[in-house]
Amino acid sequence: MDKITIRYIDLFAGVGGFRYAIQNACMELGIQAECVFTSEIDVECQKVYQENFGDVPHGDITKISEDSIPDHDVLLAGFPCQPFSIIGQMKGFDDTRGTLFFDIARIIKEKRPKAFVLENVKLLVGHNKGQTLKVIQKTLKNLGYHTTHKVLNALNFGLPQKRERIFIVGFREPCSFKWPHGKIPMKPLSSILEKQVDDKYYASEHIRKKRLSKQKPTKEPTIWHENKAGNISAYPYSCALRAGASYNYLLVNGERRLTDREMFRLQGFPEEFKIISCYTQARKQAGNSLPVPMAQAVIKNTVEASCSLLIADYKCKTDKLIVDGQLSLFENERKYGKITQIADSRKIQATISAQ
Ligand SMILES: C[S@@+](CC[C@H](N)C(=O)[O-])C[C@H]1O[C@@H](n2cnc3c(N)ncnc32)[C@H](O)[C@@H]1O
């Protein structure tokens, strides 16, 4: 029997963190995920994305007409924080014009995906005394979506990185969505760190001495973080990777920079992820990415909540009907119309995996 296929789009795709997350989430649910559109403006990221996933992302989303984007079930967008400064006092959809959030909103308006998952920096919550988030929520509500948001920390999703991010999840139809609580034990830093590291990663003697004057070495590996005030902290996990931070902002044991592979491991990227850019670019790409397991947990619950009816219906109907070729949720919905709410999606997941 053909598996259900979720069609999704990956906006502001970076080097594919969201893509890994949805692929993994759907694999956990026993369904297929098909990427039908991606957009990423940075040429270097586009090359990495193509190398790893085979698709060349479209460029600047502001130049892409919403009606040229294929139909999809789930929209994913880890949009840059640039628009915050402009959303300011504005009140809704039209007023967000000129911001990258507006581009997400116009696509949602035109394509009406079943669900979306947006990701951004934690700062969004308090930006402009909460007004910016309010505008975003109001805009999405006016488009007819039921939304919820939460700040999650990658440390709770198995990664040794303190990275707090806001997720905004929205549904076209009301449904019972639960935020993942994480509680996944943190991988030890030692499992992320490479054993042999080239000399080029080591900080100068001057910097190392300076660090040692403020912090003591530890037996277990730690990552030393210098804050804006020049204070040094040492933890058995990394502070958030940042694309534009100084090269000595994070130092393993106070003496060396993270390698490119270590940075992508800290974001939960798989070992097979091909790093093809120079160190400076790879550092920027990793710093801009999202923590894969954290996004995966959110997407899994989103897909489960928004598609539980169809998954149940699919199981029920395919027992009786011959379904030819790929069955997308849209096609499924058109075929069978509205379906009664099923309360316990866990049972459905179990049924699907057993097939
Ligand atoms: C925070 S990163 C997104 C990370 C990514 N979503 C992931 O899954 O790891 C934001 C990305 O948006 C891209 N971007 C910025 N402006 C854009 C535009 N107008 N059109 C398309 N992509 C854009 C940036 O180059 C950057 O890679």
Q: Is residue 303 part of a domain?
A: yes
pLDDT band at 230 (very low <50, low <70, confident <90, very high): confident
Tell me the two tokens of residue 257: 């920079």
Distance CA 252, CA 201 (A): 10
Residue 41 Cα to ligand 1 midpoint, Å, equals: 7
Ligand 1 neighbour 13 (Cβ under 6 A)? yes
Residues 315-327: tens digit of each pLDDT: 665 555 434 434 4
Task: Give me the pLDDT at residue 40, please.
Answer: 97
Cα first-last separation, the chain: 8
Ligand 1 neighbour 290 (Cβ under 6 A)? yes
In terms of Cα–Cα distance, which of 225, 220, 255, 222 is closest to 236? 222
Residues 176-208: tens digit of each pLDDT: 999 999 989 999 999 999 999 999 999 999 999
Task: Give me the pLDDT at residue 127, please.
Answer: 83
- Let me know if 81 is a catalytic residue: yes
Residues 12-52: tens digit of each pLDDT: 999 999 999 999 999 999 999 999 999 999 999 999 999 99
Residues 83 and 17 in one domain: yes
In this structure, what CATH number is given to the domain that contains residue 166?
Answer: 3.40.50.150
Ligand 1 neighbour 39 (Cβ under 6 A)? yes
Residues 44 and 155 in one domain: yes
- Tally the domains of the chain: 2
DSSP type of residue 130? G
Q: Is residue 295 part of a domain?
A: yes
Residue 101 Cα to ligand 1 midpoint, Å, equals: 12
Task: Give the mean pLDDT of the chain.
Answer: 85
Residues 43 and 126 in one domain: yes
Q: Is residue 204 part of a domain?
A: yes
Bigger pLDDT: 340 vs 84: 84
Residues 116 and 235 in one domain: no
Distance CA 95, CA 51 (A): 38
Residues 257-296: tens digit of each pLDDT: 999 999 999 999 999 999 999 999 999 999 999 999 999 9
Residues 119-133: tens digit of each pLDDT: 999 988 988 888 889
pLDDT > 50? residue 223: yes
Residue 82 Cα to ligand 1 midpoint, Å, equals: 11
pLDDT > 70? residue 332: no
Residues 106 and 57 in one domain: yes
Residues 135 and 99 in one domain: yes
Residues 112 and 213 in one domain: no
Residues 102 and 218 in one domain: no
Residues 202 and 253 in one domain: yes
Q: Is residue 131 part of a domain?
A: yes
Which atom of ligand 1 lies at the shortest distance from residue 21's CA?
8
Bigger pLDDT: 228 vs 180: 180
pLDDT band at 354 (very low <50, low <70, confident <90, very high): very low
Distance CA 245, CA 288 (A): 11
Tokens 């640039």 sit at which residue? 82
Write out the residue range of the structural domain in which residue 252 sits: 195-258
Task: Give me the pLDDT at residue 307, please.
Answer: 78
Ligand 1 neighbour 49 (Cβ under 6 A)? no
Three-point CA angle 213, 214, 215, nearest 5°? 105
Q: Which of 81, 175, 278, 316 is catalytic?
A: 81
Longest distance between any two alpha carbons in the chain, whole Å: 73
Ligand 1, atom 11: closest residue by C-alpha: 12
pLDDT > 60? residue 337: no
Ligand 1 neighbour 42 (Cβ under 6 A)? yes
Q: Is residue 247 part of a domain?
A: yes
Residue 327 Cα to ligand 1 midpoint, Å, equals: 30
pLDDT band at 343 (very low <50, low <70, confident <90, very high): very low
Ligand 1 neighbour 291 (Cβ under 6 A)? no
